[in-house]
Amino acid sequence: MRFSDILRFSGKTLTSRKKQTTLTALGILIGIAAIISILSMSEGFRANIDEQFQENFSTDTIIVTSLQGFMRQDQAIESIDLYLNNTIDFESIEHVEIVMPVIQKQCSIEGLEGSHTIYGLNYEKYTVIFSTFSEEFGIIPTDENNSDFVIGSNYYNPWDNGTTLYNVGDNITITWRNSVLSPIEQYKSNISAILYKIGGGTATLGSPSDDGIYIQLNTAIDIFDTEEVNRFVIKLSDDSDAVINQVIADINILFPNQLNVMSPDQILAALTSTFDTINLFLTGVAAISLIVAGIGIMNIMTVSLMQRKREIGIMKALGMKDTSMLSIFLIEAMLIGLIGSVLGILTGWIFASLFGSSIMGGLTMFQRPSRGGAVNGTAILTSIMPIITPLMIVEAIFFGLAVAIIFGLYPAYKSSRLPPVEALRYE
Is residue 53 exposed (0-12), middle (13-18) or buried (19+ Cβ within 10 Å)? buried
d(CA 286, CA 242): 42
Going from the C-alpha of 159 to that of each of 134, 151, 325, the distances in angstroms are 21, 16, 65
CB-count exposure of residue 124 (10 Å: 0-12, 13-18, 19+): middle
Burial class of residue 127 (count of CB atoms within 10 Å of its CB; 0-12, 13-18, 19+): middle
The CA–CA distances, whole Å, from 224 to 182, 244, 250 equal 12, 33, 31
Of 58-72, 159-173, 197-211, the range with the highest mean pLDDT is 159-173
**What is residue 427's predicted lDDT score, i.e. its pLDDT?**
52
Q: Evaluate if residue 268 carries a pLDDT over 60.
A: yes
* DSSP state at residue 155: G
Task: Using alpha carbons, select from 330, 322, 340 the residue that is nearest to residue 417.
Answer: 322
Report how far Cα 127 is from the mean position of its chain's Cα atoms. 28
Q: What is the pLDDT of residues 210-257, one digit of tens each?
A: 888 999 999 999 999 999 999 999 999 988 889 999 999 999 999 988
What pLDDT, in 10s, does the model give residues 103-129? 999 999 988 888 899 999 999 999 999
| CA dihedral angle for residue 374, residue 377, residue 383, residue 384, rounded to 10 degrees | 160
CA distance 147 to 144: 9
CA distance 87 to 67: 17
Residue 342: pLDDT over 80:
yes
* Beta bridge partner(s), residue 262: 63
This prediction's pTM: 0.66
Domain range annotation of the chain = 3-54+269-425, 81-254
The pLDDT of residue 56? 65
Spatial distance between the Cα atoms of 100 and 232, rounded to a whole number of angstroms: 6
Higher pLDDT, 159 or 32: 32
pLDDT number for residue 318: 75
Integer Cα distance of 384 and 271 in angstroms: 17
pLDDT category, 77, cuts 50, 70, 90?
low
The whole-number pLDDT of residue 248 equals 93
Q: How far apart are CA 299 and CA 313, in angstroms?
A: 21
CA distances from 311 to 147, 335, 393, 422 (A): 90, 21, 37, 12
Mean pLDDT in the chain? Answer: 82
The pLDDT value given to residue 174: 94
Residue 365 has pLDDT above 60, yes or no: no
Instruction: Yes or no: say if 336 and 402 are a contact pair by the CB < 8 Å rule.
Output: no
